[in-house]
């Protein structure tokens, strides 16, 4: 029986990976999660409902109540199950929260990743190790690209970035936020275990990862939280850039599908910018309009003049490297359909 270890298994990406690998590929799933999102973000970040969904819907799913900062516990678990594939999605994921809890942030994102890498090197060095990184490893360097202001969004005004940000873009000499810095440390370590030890590892530098199973909060979970505010008539706060800041959005299913493609044909120390690309990009103002179309409710919002530290004005991923390495993979969920699913999911939970 093929076994998969997923950290952060009750989160958006982790849970999607659990379901996809179990149902589509026949893996036995081991999920590692301790609901730390509720500690970081309070009750609204609680993911127990998702854990219970996996335990109910996936036969043979094994939940492990474990913190990735627990080095001895991580080593013991990996030694016991010796997974065929490791997917690492557990993290402290918020820019703003990181500054208030710098030790928790770094210990979770950087040290926790190292714990898992070393456990994999000792007990399953040939197993693909797939790390959910972030586009915040580029810091605010993308803001130095020449931009043009359109009616509802910012966009690149440099032909070199017609397709978006590629994996060769600099991560140096920029402001990352403490979260971005801790994720850089993890990202580089994952690459190094691949290049130094010859392990099959990759870093997926995600844009806005989204989908119907996200427990979105103001500090993390752009589209999920925006939809929730719309449905509840709650005021959404826009931080800077006139609400025209742009993100590319990728459905969690398409993330899981790419991870499966990499697991089947792994490479050593690889990096991919994993987002929705320009066709699945939108500004906050544009996201309001799409959401209103599906919910029938007007978005209530206010604007704060101060942008978030290290925030991108415009970011969308250049997907050409991913498509070249894995031509069988591509985006299957369009932005409108993704937002429609999120509206339906929040509506069901409220009901």
Show the domains of the chain with their CATH numbers. 3-350 (3.40.50.720)
pTM of the model: 0.95
End-to-end CA distance of the chain: 39
310 and 176 Cβ atoms separated by less than 8 Å: yes
Please tell me the predicted confidence (pLDDT) of residue 244: 97
Please tell me the predicted confidence (pLDDT) of residue 45: 82
Please tell me the predicted confidence (pLDDT) of residue 222: 87
Task: Tell which residue, 348, 240, 333, 339, has the closest CA to residue 299.
Answer: 339
**What number of helices (H) and strands (E) belong to the chain?**
13, 15
Strands 201-206 and 129-134, how do they pair? parallel
Query: Coil, helix or strand for 164?
Result: coil
Q: What is the mean pLDDT of each run of 10 residues along the chain (351 residues)?
A: 96 96 98 91 87 96 98 98 98 89 97 98 98 96 98 98 98 95 98 98 95 82 92 96 96 98 98 97 98 97 89 96 98 97 88 70
Residue tagged 């605010």 (tokens): 140
């Amino acid at each position: 029986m093929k076994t998969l270890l997923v950290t952060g298994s009750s989160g958006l990406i982790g849970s999607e990976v659990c379901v996809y690998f179990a149902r589509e590929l026949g893996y036995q799933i081991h999920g590692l999660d301790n609901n730390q999102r509720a500690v970081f973000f309070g009750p609204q970040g609680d993911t127990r409902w998702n854990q219970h969904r996996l335990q109910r819907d996936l036969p043979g799913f094994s939940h492990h109540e474990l913190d990735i900062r627990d080095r001895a516990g991580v080593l013991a678990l990996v030694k016991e199950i010796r997974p065929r594939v490791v997917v690492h999605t557990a993290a402290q994921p918020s820019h703003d929260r990181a500054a208030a809890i710098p030790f928790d942030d770094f210990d979770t994102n950087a040290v926790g990743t190292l714990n898992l890498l070393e456990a994999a090197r000792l007990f399953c060095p040939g197993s693909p190790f797939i790390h959910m990184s972030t586009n915040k490893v580029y810091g605010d360097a993308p803001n130095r690209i020449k931009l043009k202001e359109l009616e509802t969004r910012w966009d690149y005004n440099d032909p070199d970035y017609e397709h978006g940000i590629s994996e060769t873009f600099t991560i140096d000499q920029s402001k990352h936020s403490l979260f971005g810095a801790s994720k850089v440390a993890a990202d580089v370590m994952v690459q190094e275990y691949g290049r130094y030890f010859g392990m099959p590892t990759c870093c997926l530098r995600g844009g806005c990862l989204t989908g119907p199973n996200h427990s979105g909060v103001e500090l993390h979970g752009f589209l999920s939280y925006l939809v929730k505010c719309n449905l509840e008539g709650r005021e959404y706060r826009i931080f800077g850039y006139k609400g025209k800041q742009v993100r590319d959005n990728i459905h969690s299913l398409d993330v899981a599908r790419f991870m499966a493609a990499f697991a089947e044909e792994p490479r050593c120390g690889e990096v991919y910018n994993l987002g929705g690309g320009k066709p699945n990009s939108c500004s906050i103002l544009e996201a309001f309009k799409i959401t209103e179309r599906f919910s029938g409710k007007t978005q209530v919002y206010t604007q704060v003049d101060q942008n978030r530290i290290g925030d991108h004005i415009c970011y969308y991923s250049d997907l050409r490297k991913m498509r070249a390495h894995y031509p069988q993979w591509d985006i299957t969920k369009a932005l409108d359909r993704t937002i429609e699913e999120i509206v339906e999911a929040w509506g069901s939970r409220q009901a």
